[in-house]
Chains A and B, each alone.
Chain A
Amino acid sequence: MSDVSASSGGDGGLSALSVSLRAVTKVYDSGVMALGPLDLAVRKGEFISLLGPSGCGKSTALRLIAGLAASSSGTVRVARHEGVPQPGHGIGFVFQEPTLMPWTSVRENVRLPLKLAGVAKREANARVDDALASVGLADFADAFPRELSGGMKMRVSLARALVTDPDILLMDEPFAALDEITRFRLNNDLLALWRGLRKTVIFVTHSVFESVYLSQRVVVMTARPGRIQADIRVETVEPRGEAFRTSAAYADYCRRVSAALAPSYSGQAVL
């Protein structure tokens, strides 16, 4: 945590930045270099994808930004809200698995961040209802996680990340385990949410198609230790929808991103 410093407003040119990583590395206790040196700047309200081969450290980068792990060197800066401190330091995190507490209801799961921050129950419940409504699960507040499908669990996880109204949403391959149809639907819903809320989203994925479809910028990472291989801006008519997914421009972007990703795989044994 010591490397994570807060920069709040009035920071000169940095004020438009939401997250900035400078020469960040992560070396495991075993001596394995997992990440970096990595430089990354994400503007406020931007939707970026971190794309790379498995084991390249993209999840590690996300954990560093969230403050769940400490970097070995370099600086991680995360812009903070001015004024009232937010639960989770203004960060919402969606894990690869839904990561719900199985012993309690959907409502209690989504309320957790507020409960830990000591928000009064009445206010918290109102916010939980809003968050659940925003992911289309208003009717499932009293269900238990095991009663939900994989896609619904992921929505609950998303609602929990949104309930604190974070500035930054970190998503670690959230839809990787879902079937393609559910995944497409969640992609569209996520884009709709992002258009409405304009949060900074850093989305880790190993799917070229998903990264191009969702993000304004695709940051392609190299194999371990992960560094930035390419930074590709995806520009198209917003809002994106099925028309974009089937367009020639989309296919073109996918080709470019795939090409950028190819060297990362060349050194690896074929699995």
Chain B
Amino acid sequence: MSAVPAKTTGNGALHAVRFVAPIVVFGAGLLAWELVVRIKEIPPYVLPAPSAIFLTLIKDWAVLSQSLATTLLTTLEGFIAAAIGGIALALLFNQSKWVEYSLFPYAVILQVTPVIAIAPLLLIYLEQQTAVVVCAFIVAFFPVLSNTTLGLNSVDRNLAGLFQLYGASPPQTLRFLKLPSALPYILGGLRIAGGLSLIGAVVAEIAAGTAGAGSGLAYRIAESGYRLNIPRMFAALLLLSLAGIVIYGLLALVSHLVLRRWHESALGKDT
């Protein structure tokens, strides 16, 4: 670090700060939390210390890991359904204005109606696991749909003219022009959908939790709440947060890898 020119050092230091600062804040927060709990002798059913949460995470790992797997599977299924459904619907809208005008309002209604209010109804009509996946789908599909639609409508006019000049068939235009043009938008939509499908899954699990048969992380949180097992609530919450971060990170990574050679969003500032 000391050998590089001053300006680069400044940027490098700034870069390091971006990573180090939140970690320091996190560590300081944990330390303060631990100290407050110990000094004030707060009982764990009111506020567990970070160390207690960590111990619970290890002790209950068998139960929690299974719940994590359940929630992640639901999230994944909801996400895949949202990705396929959102992109397919956007392609359909793009083919026909009639279909778009007929269906788009319903997509919006589905989006703006809080899923927590729909979940109990879905649980009545559908099998529990299906209902949970459908919830995740409902929450996650709209950003994919609207971003893909935006992307498909953002095709360069001259490029479209070029395809027309060379007599491209509709499937050729879709494959070689529209989909690649829309790709950055689709990836942006998927990035949002990843986090939202986790939220959808959790919301549905909470709603279903009172009915009893669930085993996802949100169900664990609800169940531990009834039993006043507060450390386990925190441990489950921690796992949910981590899952959300990993999902976002993975999708951001995929987006970066796919776009890095050509799209402004993925290009380094130094190039």
Residues of A within 8 A of B (CB): 63, 66-68, 87-89, 91, 93, 95-97, 99, 101-104, 112-113, 115-117, 144-146, 164
The answer on a CB contact under 8 Å between B165 and A102 is: no
What's the least CB distance linking B196 to chain A, in Å? 27
A144 to B158, Cβ gap below 8 A? no
Q: Which of B165, B177, B263 contacts A91 (CB 8 A)?
A: B165
Is B162 positioned at the interface, with any CB of A under 8 Å from its CB?
Answer: yes
Known: A101-B180, A104-B180. A117 touches B162 (CB 8 A): no
Partner among B158, B164, B168, B177 whose Cβ is within 8 Å of the Cβ of A95: B158
- Chain B positions within 8 Å of A164 at CB level: 166
Chain B positions within 8 Å of A113 at CB level = 166
Q: How far is the CB of A165 from chain B (nearest CB, A)?
A: 13
Q: Provide the residues of chain A in CB contact with B261, threshold 8 Å.
A: 103, 144
Inter-chain contact B162/A99, CB cutoff 8 Å: yes
Size of interface on B: residues with Cβ below 8 Å to A: 21
| B26 in the interface (beta carbon within 8 A) | no
- Among residues of B, the one whose C-beta sits closest to the C-beta of A102 is B262
Identify which of B158, B161, B262, B267 contacts A103 (C-beta below 8 A): B262
16 contacts between A and B (CB under 8 A): A66-B161, A67-B165, A68-B161, A68-B164, A96-B158, A101-B159, A101-B176, A102-B263, A103-B180, A103-B183, A103-B263, A113-B166, A116-B163, A116-B166, A116-B172, A144-B261
Contact in complex: B158, A88 (CB < 8 Å): no
Whose C-beta in chain A lies nearest to the C-beta of B180? A103
How far, in angstroms, from A117 to B166 measured CA to CA in the complex? 7
Inter-subunit contact B158/A99 (CB<8 Å): yes
> How far is B262's CA from A101's CA once the two chains are assembled, in angstroms?
9
Distance (whole angstroms) from the CB of B182 to the closest CB of chain A: 11
Contacts of A68 in B (CB 8 A): 161, 164-165
A67–B165 Cα distance when bound, in Å, is 7
